[in-house]
């Protein structure tokens, strides 16, 4: 099916940022009607074929499976997304980790249990859209046990994961409050314990204030109403803005930590930080044009400041682009970003709401550019050496592994899901919540140097964790785990062993679920020949055929680029 055409809209009808301020957060009737007419929050999904369903599940889920594809083809994508948005939260990952004994005092000074808990969640959760969005948000609003000075870092991070689960489909303004008051974020970006200037050299900590603006909400450069940067570039904020915002964030601290028993109870990691008025800067403040008098109480000052950030006209474009990059494509068109930003600015409801994340996620996945038609070369023609389309993205290593894990119905023989830290370059080179810095494993604007992508002005974020070592490490890692798993993690190949006597069918079905049938005919034929070269007379040989089919597809370049 060809991509739908969307008529361009006149973005000049949109209200300016001050019209969005205040408690209502609703646009005018005329403005919201214009947004809906322009596609804000109202794009329809295309009819689902098997291939399109698989592509959608690999964008908005944790991988395609036969059961999920059947549901999508039967019910349609809109019904699937609606059902996923309505699903209740999965059982608590925090409680699961405690039940496994990871709250033992012996683990208080490290992060043991974090990997086990998160992979348990990602391998078993039914709310796959929620988990996929949480994984994406965790790479925008970064918290990591690395460089985190805290006891029970694994539980600080699990509380962070649950926070994102609880609010990822809510309102972005509410999410900002919960992020700001999270003990994990407070410790990671050192806002926890920040105090007013004492006149003796102590100043409010500016770390969180800076990253909130630069990495979480508005970015470095002012955007025009159509989402494009101003010419010449204009800074969205300066050092004075950061210092003013840092004053707003003084007086908040983790309550409940016992310095005389630091390895004792740690439920304080699960509740918002508390306010201490005696530490709050009581001077006048100005944040993005909003003046906050010095006598304003700290919680109210924070509310006003976060309102000012939330209502900045950059925010919709900033979040839209990054979510599109994480879920769909590294280089979205300006129109694609604009349409999703309009869904952020107005969800299209009778009383329009700004910042509705459920509407934003739906807009990202339903957009006509999310799954463009893919023209494959004829079987007699070689695959093109240079791509003719710029849609798609390099698959994150974590998502590649998840595709395999869920396609083989992986289980844990002892129930402990003993996954190690896979972020080393000899394994995946990435692991959930294990970013080396607040800038994530890869930056949204990363450009691989001296490449054709750089020459074309394209970005490729995931290539920042791609090098000779990581490519070989990934392939060797797959070779180690695919036949029999490890550490009690057991793959079940029954579904695929049933096709071992039919290599062409086996490869076709894996091509469907792993790629959405985007492998070129030449590549498919090559994999089929490779699988067919393995004898299939014994159970072990049949397993080797299945493993070889998975491995050959998951290491080929056409698979590594999600389309």
Strand 285-287 to 290-292 pairing = antiparallel
Residues with Cβ < 8 Å from 394, sequence gap 6 or more? 330, 460, 461, 462, 463, 466, 560, 561, 562
| pLDDT > 50? residue 305 | yes
Percentage of residues in the chain with pLDDT exceeding 70? 91
Predicted confidence (pLDDT) at residue 228 exceeds the cutoff of 90 = no
Tokens for 7, please give them: 């008529």
Under the banding of pLDDT at 50, 70 and 90, the label for residue 381 is low
Structure tokens that stand for 547 in this block: 């493993």
Phi, psi (degrees; rounded to nearest 5) at 511: -60, -40
Question: What pLDDT, on the 0 to 100 scale, is given for residue 137?
Answer: 98
DSSP 8-state code for residue 465: G
Provide mean pLDDT across the span 64-70: 98
Residue of 379 and 73 predicted with greater confidence? 73
pLDDT at residue 333 in the model? 95
Name the pTM for this structure.
0.92
Note whether 277 and 253 are within 8 A (CB): no
CB neighbour burial string for 393-406, b if at least 16 within 10 angstroms, e if fewer: bbbbbbbbbbbbbb
pLDDT at 29: 37
How far is residue 249 from each of residues 193, 195, 203, measured CA to CA in Å?
10, 8, 12
Q: Are 54 and 512 in contact (CB under 8 A)?
A: yes
Of the candidates 304, 313, 291, the one whose C-alpha atom is nearest the C-alpha of residue 221 is 313
User: Does 16 score more than 90 pLDDT?
Assistant: no
Mean pLDDT of 119-134: 98
At 218 the pLDDT is: 98
pLDDT in tens, 86-116: 999 999 999 999 999 999 999 999 999 999 9
Say if CB 43 and CB 358 are below 8 A apart. no
pLDDT confidence tier of residue 219, bands split at 50, 70 and 90 = very high
**pLDDT value at position 490?**
98
CA 352 – CA 38 distance, rounded (Å)? 14
**What is the pLDDT at residue 198?**
87
Quick check: 443 pLDDT over 70?
yes
> Residue 235 has what DSSP assignment?
B
- The whole-number pLDDT of residue 200 equals 87
The pLDDT, as a whole number, for residue 23 is 31
CA 462, chain centre distance (Å): 12
- What is the average pLDDT score of the chain? 91
Rounded to an integer, the average pLDDT of 178-193 is 98
pLDDT tens profile 408-432: 999 999 999 999 999 998 899 999 9
The predicted model gives 554-560 an average pLDDT of: 97
**Strand 393-394, strand 411-412: pairing:** unpaired
What pLDDT is stored for residue 391 in this prediction? 87
Count the neighbouring beta carbons within 10 Å of the beta carbon of residue 76.
17
- Alpha-carbon separation of residue 483 from 95, 211, 221, 457 (angstroms): 32, 43, 49, 41
Residue-wise pLDDT tens digits, 458-479: 999 999 999 999 999 999 999 9
Name beta bridge partners: 412: 489
Average of pLDDT values for 500-527? 97
Would you say residue 496 has pLDDT above 50?
yes
pLDDT of residue 547: 98
Is the confidence at residue 13, as pLDDT, over 60? Answer: no
Q: What is the pLDDT of residue 382?
A: 58
pLDDT, position 15: 34
DSSP category for residue 171: B
Q: Indicate the pLDDT class of residue 343, thresholds 50, 70 and 90.
A: very high
The band of 383, judged by pLDDT with boundaries at 50, 70 and 90, is low
Measured distance CA(41)–CA(339) in Å, rounded: 8
ω into 98 cis (within 30 of 0): no
3-state DSSP assignment of residue 393: strand
The predicted structure's pLDDT at residue 42: 61
């Amino acid at each position: 099916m060809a991509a739908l055409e969307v008529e361009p809209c006149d973005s000049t009808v949109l209200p300016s940022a001050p019209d969005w301020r205040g408690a209502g957060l609703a646009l005018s009737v005329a403005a919201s009607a214009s947004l809906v007419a322009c596609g804000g929050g109202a794009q329809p999904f295309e009819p689902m074929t098997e291939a399109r369903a698989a592509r959608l599940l690999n964008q908005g889920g944790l991988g395609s499976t036969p059961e999920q594809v059947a549901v999508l083809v039967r019910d349609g994508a809109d019904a699937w997304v609606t059902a996923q948005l309505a699903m209740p939260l999965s059982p608590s990952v925090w409680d699961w980790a405690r039940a496994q004994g990871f709250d033992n005092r012996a683990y208080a000074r490290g992060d043991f249990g974090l990997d086990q808990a998160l992979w348990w969640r990602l391998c078993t959760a039914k709310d796959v859209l929620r988990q996929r969005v949480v994984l994406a948000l965790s790479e925008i609003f970064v918290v990591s046990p690395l460089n985190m000075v805290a006891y029970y870092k694994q539980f600080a991070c699990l509380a962070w994961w649950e926070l994102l689960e609880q609010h990822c489909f809510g309102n972005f303004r509410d999410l900002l409050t919960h992020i700001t008051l999270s003990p994990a974020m407070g410790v990671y970006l050192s806002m926890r314990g920040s105090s007013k200037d004492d006149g003796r050299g102590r100043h409010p900590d500016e770390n969180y204030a800076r990253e909130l603006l630069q990495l979480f909400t508005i970015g470095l450069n002012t955007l025009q109403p159509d989402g494009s940067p101003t010419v010449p570039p204009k800074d969205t904020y300066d050092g004075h803005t950061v210092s003013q915002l840092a004053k707003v964030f003084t007086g908040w601290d983790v309550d409940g930590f016992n310095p005389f028993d630091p390895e004792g109870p740690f439920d304080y990691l699960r509740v918002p930080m508390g306010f201490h008025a005696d530490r709050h800067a009581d001077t006048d403040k100005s944040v993005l044009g909003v003046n906050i008098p010095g006598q304003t109480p700290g919680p109210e000052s924070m509310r006003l400041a976060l309102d000012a950030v939330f209502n900045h006209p950059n925010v919709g474009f900033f979040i839209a682009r990054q979510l599109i990059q994480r879920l769909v494509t590294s280089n979205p068109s300006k129109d694609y970003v604009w349409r999703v930003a309009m869904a952020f600015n107005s969800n299209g409801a009778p009383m329009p709401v700004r910042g509705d994340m459920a509407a934003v996620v739906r807009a990202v996945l339903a957009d006509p550019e999310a799954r463009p038609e893919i023209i494959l070369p004829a079987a007699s023609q070689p695959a093109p050496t240079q791509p003719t389309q710029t849609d798609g993205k390099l698959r994150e290593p974590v998502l590649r592994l998840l595709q395999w894990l869920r396609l083989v119905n992986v289980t844990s023989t002892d129930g402990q899901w003993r996954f190690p830290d896979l972020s080393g370059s000899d394994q995946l080179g990435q692991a959930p919540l294990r970013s080396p810095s607040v800038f994530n494993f890869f930056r949204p604007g990363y450009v691989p140097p001296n490449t054709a992508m750089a020459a074309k002005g394209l970005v490729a974020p995931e290539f920042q964790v791609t090098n000779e070592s990581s490519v070989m490490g990934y392939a060797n890692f797959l070779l180690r785990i695919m036949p029999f798993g490890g550490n009690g993690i057991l793959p079940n190949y029954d579904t695929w062993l049933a096709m071992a006597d039919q290599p062409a069918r086996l490869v076709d079905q894996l091509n469907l679920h792993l790629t959405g049938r985007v492998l070129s005919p030449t590549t498919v034929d090559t994999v089929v020949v490779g699988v067919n070269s393995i004898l299939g007379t014994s159970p072990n040989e049949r397993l080797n055929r299945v493993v070889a089919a998975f491995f050959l597809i998951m290491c080929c370049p056409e698979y590594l680029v999600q389309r």
